[in-house]
Structure formats: structure tokens, C-alpha cells
Amino acid sequence: MMAKPGKYHAMRLDGPGRPLLFVESDMLVPGTNEILIKVLSCGVCRTDLHIVDGEIPDANYPVVPGHEIVGRIVQIGESVEDFTVGDRIGVPWLGSSCGHCSYCLTDHENLCDKPEFTGCTRDGGYASHVVASAQYCFSIPERFSHVEAAPLLCAGLIGWRALRMTGGANTIGFYGFGAAAHILAQIAVWQGRQIYAFTKPGDLPGQKFARELGCIWAGGSDELPPAALDAAIIFAPVGPLVPAALLAVHKGGRVICAGIHMSDIPSFPYSDLWGEKAIMSVANLTRADGTEFLAAADSSGITPIVERFPLTDANEVLEKLRDGHLKGAAVLVPDYKIVRSRLN
């Protein structure tokens, strides 16, 4: 059954801990500086799980999750100049910022005190259509398919910002080897860096996957690498990995926490931090991050590893992500011939 004329459909989250529900509503209308996008694909991010579980305090419910959106513009607001109807674009996590605070005025809009986040405080891409601020959308390199491009919009972008925060580090440990790490490992290898992959203890398939993507070593997160690291990036939202990573980096090394949410970090001896080691967090992204990363992704020849699912399987896919049963990144694709009986 086709969606009714003038309607759009979505998988909506009405509150923490609830399953996503299929809903159909009147078609969205873009504002002056916004664009209406027909969704072609939307990646599934661990942050979506945090929103489902009520772990992001600022989330607005009900909300349509999804912030790794690839779509085609079908309508533009009257003040939009950089895009035209028919363009293929990407919509990331940072949906808008105030534009006039000290952070925004110094190109640190990722730290804005009054931001909007796609799929969290404004509706996202688990839908047939979405409205986005044109200022925070990006053109997608042509060589990526709709499905391949989706995880670039968060897993890739946040990973890129985390990688930049390691400075000139040559040997880097990636703790957690999911959607973000598998993209950034390819980028880092292209840059000539040496990557050490840390997976859940005993995850031999995950370690094999990491080595296939160019990591020079792969082991469990309970192990120390064969050599001290210049830096470590923690992609898994697991606080106890922070002191573990501190033991793995040498003096002057950096530990970068790349998630928007993490469980509590346990106490550890000051001696593990001593030696001018540093712990840093990554907060959102800037527009410059998006432009730079997508250019690097295009030039490097990376290939995102994706599993494709119909939009209406969103609940099942989120559970696969929770249980670690995905290789690479999961991507939802709207089915414009939805059979309503499946949802009853």
C-alpha cells in the first residue's frame, strides 16, 4: 500500500523505554531557512539507543530518531541559496545552533548552548521525509551509494573529529570496533597511521574484521597492546575503558572519549594519569568537520561496510545494535510500498 498523497510516514519514539511506532502524518513544510528532504537512507547510531533508553537528558519526546540521513531535496525555503530541488544531501547530528553566542562566533558551534540535535530535539530520519536546516546539511560525494553514505554523517564525522583531536599521533588504539571505528580505521590507514583495535574480550570475528581493514593488531579490551600508544579513542560507551586506555598510552598520550554518552568512569590511581597524559571528550561536530571529512572520505577511497534494513524493522535493528550483532553499520531504507498489516 502506498502512502497517501500529502502524507509522510515515520517510526516515532513516544518516550524512553518504549518501542518505536509507525505513524503517518500530514506532509512537512520547510521554514524560511529549511529544506524538505525525501529520505533515501538513514544510519542507525548507538546514540539512537541512548535516546530510546532515556540516557540523553535533553531529548524531546515524542521524537523521530535518526541523524545519519541521506536524502533528496523536494522543497526549499525562500531564503535557501546553497541547495536546489533535486540535490542529494546529508543531514548530521547537529541540526542547528544559535549563531550568535561566543562559541558560534568563533566557529565552535559544536559547543553552542542552544543547539538542536537531529533525531533528539528535532525529528530525524527514521521517516520517509524530514525537514532540516539548510545551513547544517552537506553535499554527498557521488561515489558513495545512498546506503554507504549514511554512516558517514555521524559515525564518520564524530570519528573524524576524534581522530583530529589525537593531534599528530601515529600509533592509535580504537576501543570498540563498530560503525565509527571501521570507517576511521580506513581513513587512518590511508593517512599512514598504525591502528590497534580493541574489541570485547573473545570477539574473534570482530578482531578479524579489524585486521582485514588494515589494523596492525587486534585484541580484547582487557589486553595491553604490544607497544605503548600515542593516543587512544574510545568509541564504546563504557567508562571503565578510560583507565584501561590510560595504561595503554605512553607519557604525553591522549585518551579521546568519542561518545555523547558514557557510563561512569571508575576511580584510578593518579600515577596512571601522571606523565602529562590527557583525557578529552568530543562534543558534536562543526560544519568545517563535515566539509573536511567528506572530502577526505572521497579522496581516501574508503568503503563503509553496511547492512541494509527496511525502515519498519527499526526496533529489531536497534536490538541487534544493542547486542553487538552487526558488522559495520546498520542503515534503514524507507519502503515506499509499506504493507500496513505488518505493523498490526
For residue 132, what are the contacts with CB-CB under 8 A and spacing of at least 6?
34, 35, 37, 69, 91, 95, 118
Please tell me the predicted confidence (pLDDT) of residue 166.
Answer: 96
- C-alpha dihedral (249, 254, 259, 260), degrees to nearest 10: 150
251: Cβ–Cβ under 8 A, 6 or more apart, which residues? 275, 276, 277
Helix axes 155-164, 179-190, angle to 10 degrees: 50
Provide the pLDDT confidence category of residue 243 given band limits of 50, 70 and 90: very high
pLDDT at 1 over 70: no
Query: What pLDDT does 324 receive?
Result: 85
Distance CA 300, CA 282 (A): 23
Q: How sure is the predictor about 339, in pLDDT bands with cuts at 50, 70 and 90?
A: very low
* Mean pLDDT (the chain, rounded): 93
What's the CA gap between 231 and 188, in Å, rounded? 13
Q: What is the model's pLDDT at position 337?
A: 54
pLDDT digits over 105-135, tens only?
999 999 999 999 999 999 999 999 999 999 9
Pick from 239-243, 296-300, 338-342: least confident: 338-342
pLDDT band, very low/low/confident/very high, at 335 (cuts 50, 70, 90): confident
Q: What is the pLDDT of residues 257-316, one digit of tens each?
A: 998 889 999 999 999 999 999 999 999 899 999 999 999 999 999 999 999 999 999 999
The total number of residues shown for the chain amounts to 344
Cell of 5: 498523497
Asked if pLDDT for residue 3 goes beyond 50, the answer is: no
pLDDT attached to residue 220:
96
Would you say 72 and 99 are in contact if contact means Cβ atoms under 8 Å apart? no
Identify the pLDDT of residue 2: 39
The domain ranges of the chain are 7-152+304-343, 166-281
Superfamily in which the 7-152+304-343 domain is placed by CATH: Medium-chain alcohol dehydrogenases, catalytic domain (3.90.180.10)
Q: Which amino acid is at 189?
A: V
End-to-end CA distance of the chain: 14
SS3 content of the chain, % helix, strand, coil (to 5): 30, 30, 45
CA 30 to chain centroid, in Å, comes to: 24
State the DSSP H helix or E strand holding residue 233, giving kind and residue range, or none if neither: strand 229-234
Residue 310, SS3? Answer: strand
Lowest mean pLDDT among 2-6, 49-53, 194-198: 2-6
**Whole-number Å distance between alpha carbons of 133 and 197:** 36
Task: Tell me the whole-structure pTM to 2 decimals.
Answer: 0.90
Q: Quick one: average pLDDT of 316-333?
A: 93
Decide if domain 166-281 falls under CATH 3.40.50.720: yes
Q: What is the pLDDT of residue 259?
A: 87
Please give the Cα distance from 254 to 232 (Å, whole number). Answer: 6
User: How confident is the model at residue 4, as a pLDDT?
Assistant: 52
Amino acid letter for position 238:
V
C-alpha cell at 279: 583525557
Q: What integer pLDDT is reported at residue 260 of this predicted model? A: 86
pLDDT tier at 5 (50, 70, 90 boundaries)? low
Crossing angle (nearest 10°) for helices 287-300 and 155-164: 100
The CB-side HSE value for 19 (13 A sphere, CA atoms) comes to 11
The widest CA-to-CA distance across the chain, in whole angstroms, is: 65
Q: Is residue 285 within 8 Å of 185, Cβ to Cβ?
A: no
